[in-house]
Every structure is written in structure tokens, then in C-alpha cells.
Amino acid sequence: MANIMGFFLVLLSLTLSLYPSCALYEDQVGIMDWHQQYIGKVNHAVFHTQKQGRKRVVVATDENIIASLDLRRGDIFWRHVLGDSDAVNDIDIALGKYVITLSSSGSILRAWNLPDGQMMWESFLQGSGPSKSLLSVSASILVFSGGCLHAISGIDGDVLWRRELSGESLEMHKIRQSPNGETIYAAGLVGSSQLALYELNPKNGDIVNHKMALFSGGFSGEMLFLSDGTLVALDATRSTIVTASFNNGNLVFHQRPIIEIVPEFSGSASLLPSRFKGSVAIKTDSHVLLILVRENGKKMETLDKIEGPSAISDALLFSEDQQAFGVVRHEQDVLSLSIKLDGGGNNELITDNIKVDGQRGRAEMVFINNYIRTDRSQGFRALVVMEDYSLMLLQQGNIVWCREDGLASIVDTTISELPLEKEGVSVANVEHSLFQWLKGHFLKLKETLMLASAEDIAVIQEMRLKNSEKTKMTRDHNGFRKLLIVLTRAGKILALHTGDGRVVWSLLSPSFRKSEKCQNPTGVKIYQWQVPHHHALDENPSVLVVGRCGLGSPNFLSFVDSYTGKELESLRLTHPVTQIVPLPFTDSLEQRLHLFVDGEKRAHLHPRSSESLGVFLRELPNIYLYSIDSERGIIRGYGLKGKCIREEGDDYCFETRELWKVVFPLESEKISAVATRKSNEVVHTQAKVLTDQDVIFKYISRNVLFVATIAPKATDGIGSITPDEAWLVAYLIDTVTGRILHRVTHLGAHGPIQAVFSENWVVYHYFNLRAHKYEMSVIEIYDQSRADNKDVLKLVLGKHNLTTPVSSYSRPEVMVKSQSYFFTHSVKSMAVTSTAKGITSKQLLIGTIGDQVLALDKRYVDPRRTINPTQAEKEEGIIPLTDSLPIIPQSYVTHSVRVEGLRGIETFPAKLESTSLVFIYGVDLFYTRIAPSRTYDSLTEEFSYSLLLITIVALVAAIFITWRLSEKKELRDKWR
């Protein structure tokens, strides 16, 4: 019965889907979608508050973004996402109206108009070799990059002069313009122990003075300009402060062991790159020391000693001769900000203790700025970057605003149901909502009949957007309300409500915080650990988060409750994990079984309980694993053998044995893309009915892997290769037996390859060098062994093989169809819609280079398309073949917004069969729900209930009136 229903639904959907299906009206924006803009982790910030008008802060971030933020509210005035290889080295403000950015390791200098972000000029700086890139903006713009010092005009970006400051192993470390603008100082090292100091004329770049001097102790490489002509550095052992200064035309060194200044010092120190005048900040293992250096380094004294982890800002000149700096310390959930004077003595200007959300970790960076309060005293504001990449503005002991910018670096995402609705809703509530409901529909009716005033329309729009239904914290009937659980690179886990995108809870688990053991923890993957339905409904669902230290192998786990955001358990594994395999089995609490494969190819079972072990041992012979080694071009398949030999006591450790391997010739093929079916994908039917009443059967196996390899030469970029040297080979491999089901070569094809695998088809996108266009190909794979099951008589007599299970070991007879089409744009990411029962037709979601997402019906990438389809084929919905795929602007699911820095597209099924939830992430986040075949199973939001009611009332009234009329007429007839 369900099948028949399904069939009709398919028919219905086919007829409906002949029109572009996700088209949206402009006034529907924001009803079921939301868009959030972020910038990422800030690494440079410059305030611009001098003038009247908008106060702003210009920031550069780790995501290669420069942005101008509103200081009052934290909104983005403008921002630009630079290219992937165009990392920002430094930013500053010049002439009070341009933001100057130095990027691409010092080779591109750009100026952006401060109010609107328009690029005013850009300048390409050609150097003679790699070097540090330094930017100094005061009297003029000075850039040191590529071994040359450039002076650049702030008005048009022209290079005024250029001076090469390189030579035999000379490496420049710092440049400085004297405050009066008369001299430029440049300091560098030759080797590790020879210091070179230059004095240059800012007008033409001539070298006025040049000194080299050898320091026997060697240098650590860090140095700072203390004042004009005085340098401070650390020696090679990082335990002595060395100052160097010009004295009568000679370089004079002074050195002072740190232990003499601070008796308890031990270990090694490092210079903090904060810019102070006359003093230097030194970070030791336990403290941050602020040391005042006087008389060219002859005298040094401790100004301040800051204990514990802290962040220190640059010094800020806020009056004629006073400088201040900010220190932020963090204890539990209290952030203490102190602004101190640079001069020594009782130097604390302001100390604020501010309570912050405990899930933000410690403060990593702080930038300060001053303002004049209404009582004419000095006030300070501080911009703080936290460990979870969030950005806060502190002022007068309060958090003015806080941006959750960790969300710009999502690495993985999953979804969780919301709790069920509790019984017992008050009557008043119902009445109120009923009244609201009626009022809403009355207004909508007015709108339909064009009677609504402008105010009414505004009210209607407001009601649509702020529908309280969509932001409730309970499960809804259609399955639209869910929690998106995302993991950021910083290791923070956040739950976003699909209704409006707000953060429901967030967690920076202790194992993801920076510590002695792990300096740089990052999040890697997130898995659904426990998804209770049926018998374990009183359990909360939970997720498994996997993290790692720096670039090492993932080795710490955290189990988090999806409803509350509390960490249930955290685990540090003794072995590194190379692969995590969620298995299709659950225990009685519906915890999913996972295998963690370590470096020696042993599989460790989680959860570690006797019950899960029982389930696992029963299925042991049917579990196969595979690993992809793209470096060496080998794909290996494994089976499980038995308990680990070496670890006797460990019942949850299993040895694997290699079953097969596929080796690609490294000199001609390099693995570029792999794709598998989503493990939770639902396929409605295996059969596909053709127009001529014929049936073909899809080859549906969870164990098919799509691998695309390209010529090793074809990895450097489109412009660097001729078509004859490039090719792409696509494979379909069975991961149980290692059998290659299909192999096809595209000559003249170039990466990058994006691929998506669903049901029995793969679509992949690549560049065709011959046509010089992007191309998309589709491969569909059909099961021939079931092709004989068409005879009704056989089916009736039971002589069919439909019930025989699909086995990878039986040699499959497969038939493959494929076709290729041109596609206009570059593609960043590709996904396919998924629905609850798999009945609704599919759409490809294509993230284009313009950071938009296009929904393309699967019918456009159907290998059965021909140039002249027959009438019957047309009825079936086959579209005449065209050489390129159409781009219909109305089918952009992101409509008129850009998801900057797009990296991934995730789709999740809703409970309503027609609808699929789409979450797109990059620097921005975008969420919407789409119905690939229109919402055939529910009324749309557009449906006018009031019009229906009025029609019914009118019909009933009409019935009564006509009844009365006919009675009267009859009476008259009878009298006649």
C-alpha cells in the first residue's frame, strides 16, 4: 500500500516539478531561512575613533578577511574576503581615510576607503627574495618585503622609492620611523649573531648610516625598537636581555641576565611583540614581565609582573606624554581588565572585573582605545579576542557587544532533534494564540484582496518573521525545528536553533582548552553518538566530538548531551586514531557502535560495554573497513580477525587483516576526490519504471566508493598545463571485495574535482581543458542480475530473485550509463538533498565560486536524456539534451545573499517527506529548507485559510438561500 502511495506521490511530484521549484518571493525572505555574517578570528585591529560620526574598528582575521565593525553594536559595516593564498600580514590606517592592508607575504598592498570599503588602489611590490614582511604607517607608508624597503604614496599607491636591503643571509626584523619623520631605522640579523642597523633618509631612501656588529652570545631572532636607534633583543639562550644602540657612530651592546632583574626566573623567555615606549614586555614560563629600560640599557627595572595566562595590548599614547596598555587576565568566568600606565609606580588606571560566559576560554589578544568621557576624564575600551575566537568589546566594566566569530570556522556539523513537547498548555494561552491566529488571517485576507494599508503589510511581514512557532524549543510535527550542532576549529561546540539561528548552548570542553599538554587543540569531527527513538525516549540524545592537538592524530573524545550542552564524559585515548567508523548497530540505549582504528590498524570498539561487545561479536564477520592513502595512492580493504594479541586484557581491541588493495600508479594517477553515499540515506525503491513499461533496477549498495584520480601534473592550476598532459580517471570500487565495478577516463580534464554520491549515481565536477569550460558528469549504475524479474507470471509463481540479499561476493552484473554536460561556474562544494523516505525527487546543491548555492534538479543530470526525446519519454519527465546545464537565477537557494567563504553544504531530512533542511557554512552561515518537488504533502504558508472559510460560509449561505427560494417556488407551483 505504501508503495502505491509512493508511486502516486512520485507521479504527482513529477508533474509539479516541471516548474522551478525553490523559487521564492521577495517578501518570503527570512520566513524559513536565516543568514549570519561572521569574520573569523581577529589577529589585527585598528581603531578609528578620532573624528565625529561613526566610530569603528578595522580588523583583519585568520580567514583572510578585512572588515570594518561598528564600535557601538559590533555590526559589520563592510568586509572583504581575500583569496585563499592572500593572507593578511598587517593592517593600518593611513591619511585618516584609507585602510592599508599588506597581504600575500608582503607582495600586495591595498588601500580601502574607510567609509564604504571600496578599494582605492593596489600596489604590487616586487622583491628579490623571500623575507619577513613589515608594514609601518606614520609619516609615510613603508613596506619591507622581498628583501626591499618600499616607500609608497598614500594617495595613489605609487612606489616613491625602493631600496634593497638584502645581502648574504641578511634578514630584516624591524623597521621604525622616528616620530619626527626625519629618519627611518631598519634592523636585521646576519646569521644568528651579527646585528645590522640601518638609518635611511625617508625622502629618497638613501642609507645615511649603516653599522654591523657581532654579538658573541648570539640572538634568538626576536627584537624590538625601544626608541630611535635603540634595540632590545634576547640572546640565543633566551635568558639575557640585550640592548644595542648607536653611540658615537658605533653599535654598543649592553646585556643583563633576566635572573638579575627577577630572581625567581628560570627556563626561557620570549619577547612579546607589543609596541611600548621605553620598556619591553617579556613572557616567561610563569609570568609576563614589564621591564623599563633606561640609559640605553644600562639600567633595567621591573615595572610590573603579571601572573598567570594573560594578554597584553600595545601601548596607546593617550595624552601628550602618557602611554597606557591593557592587560586581560582570566579566572574561571571572570575577566579582569586593567589599564596601566607605561611609566611605572602606582600605574593602574582602571581595573574592571567583568563576568563573562565561562565557555569562552581565556583571553588571547587585547586591543585598547581611549575616549573622552562626558565628565572630560579618560575612558578606555578594549577589544578582546577569546580562545574560542569570539570577539568582545569591553567598556566601563561591561560587555558592550560580543560576536561569536568562532562560527566562521566550522569544521563539522550534525543535527539533533529537540525535546518532545510536554503536556499541559494553559487555556489562556490557546485563546490568545487563537485570537492572534484569526487576526493574522484577517490581515492576510486583506492583503490578498489588496485592501491592506502599508502599516498592515508591515505588521504582516513582522508576524511572518517573528512567528513564535518556529523558535520554540520543542519538536514540531513537520520536523522543521531541530538543533544544528556545529564544531568549530577552536574546538567549541555550539547548538543553533534552526528556527532563527540563535545559539541555544555552547561548550568549550576542558579537553579542548589550551593547556601545558596541548598548546593548540582543534576540533576534527562530530558524530551522532546516541539518537534515541522508540524504547529509549527518556534518554537525551548525545554527540561524540573528536579533537586533536595541533597537527597530530586525533586522540581526545568528548561526549556531549545535545539538549543541555553538558559534557557527559571526556576521554583521552592512549592510541592515536587514524580513522573513525560509525557502525550500523546500536545497543539497547541506542548508542551507536563506533570503531576507532589506530596507527597499527587495530580497531577499538566504543562504547565499552559488554552489551555492545555482544552486538559487535555477532556481526564481526560482516564488518569490513577500508582506508585511503592518497599520498601513496593506495586503497586497502580490511576485515576483522579477533582480539588483539598484544593487549591481552583489552576485550575491545580487534586485529584487522588486509583483504585487498587497489594501487594507483603514482606517476600517472593521483587520488583527488572520493565520495561515498551518506550512511543514513534512505532509498525508497530499487526499481525504476521506464516509459515502455520496462523496469530497471538500481544497483544500491552501501559499499560502493567513488574515487577520482587526476594526472599529477594537473594539480597546479588551470593555466599551467596543456590538455594532452591532463586526464581524470573515475572508478567505482566495491569496498568489501575491492572489485572495480566501473572505470572511465576523461582526457584533458583538470581538478579540482567535486563529487557527490547518492542512491545509484555519482555526479562529479571538473575542468575540461579542451573546451576550456567546467564540466559535470554523471554515472548511474544498474543491477543487471535482477533485470529478468519483469515477467508477471514469474513474480506470481515466486520464481524471482528479488528477495535474495544483495551480496558483494556474488559477482555483480552491472550496467552503467553516463553523460557529461558543461557547467558555467567553478564549484566549491556539492551536496544532494535528502528526505525522510527518499520518495521526493532529488536536487543537487552546488556551491558556486560566487558563494551562492544553486539547486539543480537531478533530472538535468540524467544519462537517459537525448536530443529528441520521444513523446513517452517527455511524459516521463526526460528533458531534451542540451550541452550545458541551465542556471536559473530563481533556483539559487541562497537567493540574494552570499555565503562568504563557502566551504560546506549539509542536508538533513525533515519529517515531512517533501522537505529537506539545508545548512550551508563557510565564513557565513545560511540555513533554509527546500522542497525539491514543491510541498505536495502540506499547504504552503501562502495558503489563505480565511479565503477557504469565507468560501465555505458563502456556500452554506447559498445553499440555504436557494433552498428557501426553491421552497417558495414550489409553493407557488402548487397554488397554481
Q: Which residues bind other proteins (CB under 8 A)?
A: 23-27, 78, 80-86, 110, 116-122, 124, 448-450, 717-721, 752, 767, 769, 771-773, 824-826, 828, 849-852, 887, 889-890, 892, 895-896, 898, 947-948, 950-951, 954-955, 958, 962-963, 966-967, 970
Residue 435 or 943 having the CB closest to other proteins: 943
Residues in CB range of 49: below 8 A, 6 or more apart: 55, 56, 71, 369, 371
CB of 841 vs other proteins, minimal distance in Å: 20
CB of 26 vs other proteins, minimal distance in Å: 4
Cis peptide bond upstream of 752, omega within 30: yes
CB of 18 vs other proteins, minimal distance in Å: 15
Residues in CB range of 260: below 8 A, 6 or more apart: none
Sign of CA dihedral 928, 934, 939, 941: positive
Q: Rounded to the nearest 10 degrees, what angle do helices 427-448 and 945-975 cross at? A: 80
Q: Rounded to the nearest 10 degrees, what angle do helices 454-465 and 427-448 cross at? A: 130
CB of 407 vs other proteins, minimal distance in Å: 21
The burial of 809, by beta-carbon neighbours within 10 Å (0-12 exposed, 13-18 middle, 19 or more buried), is given as exposed
Q: What does the block give as the cell for 101?
A: 592592508
- Give dist(CA 523, CA 557) in Å, integer: 10
- Other Cβ atoms less than 10 A from the Cβ of 569: the count is 11
Residue 654 or 774 having the CB closest to other proteins: 774
Q: What is the DSSP letter of 338?
A: E
Roughly how many angstroms between the first and final C-alpha of the chain, as a whole number? Answer: 59
CB of 832 vs other proteins, minimal distance in Å: 22
Residue 117 or 904 having the CB closest to other proteins: 117
The burial of 250, by beta-carbon neighbours within 10 Å (0-12 exposed, 13-18 middle, 19 or more buried), is given as exposed
Residue 27 or 295 having the CB closest to other proteins: 27
CB of 246 vs other proteins, minimal distance in Å: 38
CB of 721 vs other proteins, minimal distance in Å: 8
Q: What is the DSSP letter of 512?
A: G
The burial of 188, by beta-carbon neighbours within 10 Å (0-12 exposed, 13-18 middle, 19 or more buried), is given as buried
528-544 core/surface letters (b: 16 or more CB in 10 A; e: else): bbbbbeeebeeeebbbb
Residue 372 or 950 having the CB closest to other proteins: 950
The DSSP-derived string for 663-723 is E--TTT-EEEEEEE--TT-----SEEE-TTS-EEEE---TTEEEEEEE-GGGGS-GGG--G
Sign of CA dihedral 604, 607, 610, 611: negative
Residue 625 or 830 having the CB closest to other proteins: 830
893-905 core/surface letters (b: 16 or more CB in 10 A; e: else): bbbebbbbbbbbb
Q: What is the DSSP letter of 884?
A: B
- Give dist(CA 382, CA 351) in Å, integer: 12
Looking at the DSSP bridge assignments, the partners of residue 189 are 171, 195
CB of 847 vs other proteins, minimal distance in Å: 12
Is 217 in contact with 193 (CB distance < 8 Å)?
Answer: yes
Query: In 3-state terms, what secondary structure has residue 554?
Result: strand
CB of 720 vs other proteins, minimal distance in Å: 6
CB of 487 vs other proteins, minimal distance in Å: 25
Q: What does the block give as the cell for 810?
A: 556474488
Residue 654 or 767 having the CB closest to other proteins: 767
Q: What does the block give as the cell for 147?
A: 628583501
Residue 584 or 717 having the CB closest to other proteins: 717
Is 144 in contact with 132 (CB distance < 8 Å)?
Answer: yes
Residue 273 or 889 having the CB closest to other proteins: 889
CB of 83 vs other proteins, minimal distance in Å: 4
Query: In 3-state terms, what secondary structure has residue 464?
Result: helix
CB of 706 vs other proteins, minimal distance in Å: 21
The dihedral over CA atoms of 677, 679, 684, 689, expressed in degrees to the nearest 10, equals 20
- Give dist(CA 884, CA 900) in Å, integer: 26
- Other Cβ atoms less than 10 A from the Cβ of 51: the count is 10
CB of 673 vs other proteins, minimal distance in Å: 14
- Other Cβ atoms less than 10 A from the Cβ of 880: the count is 11
CB of 43 vs other proteins, minimal distance in Å: 19
Residues in CB range of 330: below 8 A, 6 or more apart: 309, 310, 336, 361, 362, 363
Residue 101 or 562 having the CB closest to other proteins: 101
Residue 695 or 965 having the CB closest to other proteins: 965
Residue 725 or 876 having the CB closest to other proteins: 725
Residue 659 or 721 having the CB closest to other proteins: 721
Residue 221 or 752 having the CB closest to other proteins: 752
CB of 98 vs other proteins, minimal distance in Å: 12
Residue 5 or 958 having the CB closest to other proteins: 958
Residue 85 or 868 having the CB closest to other proteins: 85
CB of 267 vs other proteins, minimal distance in Å: 44
Closest-CA residue to 492 (of 390, 399, 572, 402): 390
- Other Cβ atoms less than 10 A from the Cβ of 889: the count is 11
Residue 3 or 824 having the CB closest to other proteins: 824
- Give dist(CA 902, CA 918) in Å, integer: 13
CB of 149 vs other proteins, minimal distance in Å: 20
Query: In 3-state terms, what secondary structure has residue 168?
Result: coil
CB of 928 vs other proteins, minimal distance in Å: 13
Sign of CA dihedral 101, 102, 104, 109: positive
Residue 327 or 902 having the CB closest to other proteins: 902
972's enclosing H/E stretch is: helix 945-975
